[in-house]
Amino acid sequence: MLSERMNCLFPEKVRKTLVFITLFLGFAFFLICPIFNNLSIKILLIYTINISLMLFIICYKNSINKYEVGIFGFLFIQLLALMPDNSMENVDKFVSSSFLLSFRYGISSRSFIATIIDFLSGGGFVSKHFVWHFIYCTTAFLSFLISVFIGEVINNNKEDIKIFVLLLSLLCLAGFTAPSAYFMHDTFGRSEVFALLFLLFIVFFINKQFVSWFIPLFALFIFATHINLIFFYIPLVIILLLYSLYEQPDKKIKYIFLSSFTFIIISAAFILYTLFYKDTFIFNNAAEFGEHLKDKTDLFFEEGFLHFALFSTLEDHLNTWRVSVKYQGLFSVIVNIPVLLLFSAFWIRCYQKETVKMMKLFYLLPIGTLFFQSIMFFMFIDYGRWIIMMLNVQFTLIFYFIHVKNKQVISIIQSVTPFIKRHLFYVILVCCIMLFLGPVSVIGTSEKTMQIVHLIKQFLLLK
């Protein structure tokens, strides 16, 4: 049986050697992957890179705890059970098309991951089998990072709040916006999977002396993954940097620079994109681009999506929203309103308890992000995607504040823990029901949830 924490897996000298070797192998295999033309070798290298990075993190931490193992096992089994089979035919056609929008053809709103695929493919033929294994490895690695993040938070807290942290973790992992939402056929490989991975790296980097300087770069990666993420994960990065600025006055200059530079570089990238993106395309229309791609890939791509992603305007998107908005999408928001209200109440309580004026205002920022993010619901119809990222931001913030032992957050958790203990059965029961019903999809809720909605609707009509 695993102990609560297996400290010092390796002696310090061995640990440093293993950290160097695993990191070197990961980058080396990444750089040599484009050299090989054999598809099987390329796929093998992708798996080797993935395993090397996992081992790097384990060696760097020099520990494993039972929560990390349990959470990763829980997520990995779900991934195996829910993911599309070893073929891109069952992956959403829009997702499949997005892996062809490399920067070599122009600057689109979602070109970064496609450019990585293009690089690993050596700028040549993009195989659907390679893309599937790339998505699978990335999703498995994301599951690993989530397990490390949440597992460390659970393991490093005292017994007086551990029950709260455990149930918060259960809500995160089993709720309507659980990570398993990204394992389904219509969300498998979507841009936010990669963005969440970059975000977790930023969370890991933020209090590290050297790698924290890479935060602006990883924030730019998030933005380049999909421009819509400027409404979701970029504000969270700024909030974390501002908190570090306040909590670490001895590093004030560093975090002022990181906060300012991150804001400036993302703002500049957004302005430059909106002004000049159309001038970067080397094709005149989607039909011409699609004709070129026929000889470049065996991926299924949708010409309409190519037009939508590269050549349509904001007005086109808004018109699509007006005619396409579906009531199913509203249910993906409605079923998550109780959780959104709980988070809002939590931050308001933090605001009320805080005595320092600057920090009082800080606790209003997480609520402010909810209003800022709600803009997306009036521009694009993917309600399920937006609500997942909204709650990812809230969960990440609370887990982070628990991890850094924020006084107000810990105090409030201690005050509500007795209530949770008294009603533990009902809390777990609600989480089990959500796990059974399944997470929201791209637009609406799961089929099981919609079936219940339809039954209720029929009952009311009969009445």
DSSP 273-312: HHHHGGGG-SSSSHHHHHHHHTTTB-S---HHHHHHHHT-
In three-state form (DSSP H/G/I as H, E/B as E, the rest C), the secondary structure along 83-111 is: CCCCCHHHCCHHHHHHCCCCHHHCCCCCC
Indicate the DSSP class of residue 7.
E
In this structure, are residues 114 and 101 in contact, taking their beta carbons and an 8 Å threshold? yes
In this structure, are residues 127 and 298 in contact, taking their beta carbons and an 8 Å threshold? yes
**Strand (E) or helix (H) holding 433:** helix 424-437
CA distance 246 to 401: 13
CA distance 446 to 384: 10
Is pTM, for the whole model, over 0.75?
yes
The packing angle between helices 128-155 and 159-174, to 10°, is 160
**Strand (E) or helix (H) holding 401:** helix 383-403
Q: Which residue has the tokens 């980058």?
A: 27
pLDDT digits (tens, 9 = 90+) for 187-199: 899 999 999 999 9
CA distance 428 to 414: 19
Residues 6+ apart with CB under 8 A from 201: 145, 218
pLDDT digits (tens, 9 = 90+) for 139-195: 999 999 999 999 999 998 887 889 999 999 999 999 989 999 999 888 899 999 999
DSSP 194-249: HHHHHHHHHHHHTT-TTGGGGHHHHHHHHHHH-GGGGGTHHHHHHHHHHHHHHH-G
pLDDT value of residue 1: 42
Whether the per-residue pLDDT at 5 is higher than 70: the answer is: no
pLDDT value of residue 215: 94
Indicate the DSSP class of residue 176.
T
CA torsion through residues 392, 116, 315, 293, sign: negative
pLDDT value of residue 51: 95
pLDDT value of residue 304: 80
pLDDT digits (tens, 9 = 90+) for 68-104: 999 999 999 999 998 887 766 777 788 888 899 899 8
Q: Closest by alpha carbon to 366, among 339, 386, 399, 393?
A: 393
CA distance 223 to 199: 11
CA distance 363 to 384: 26
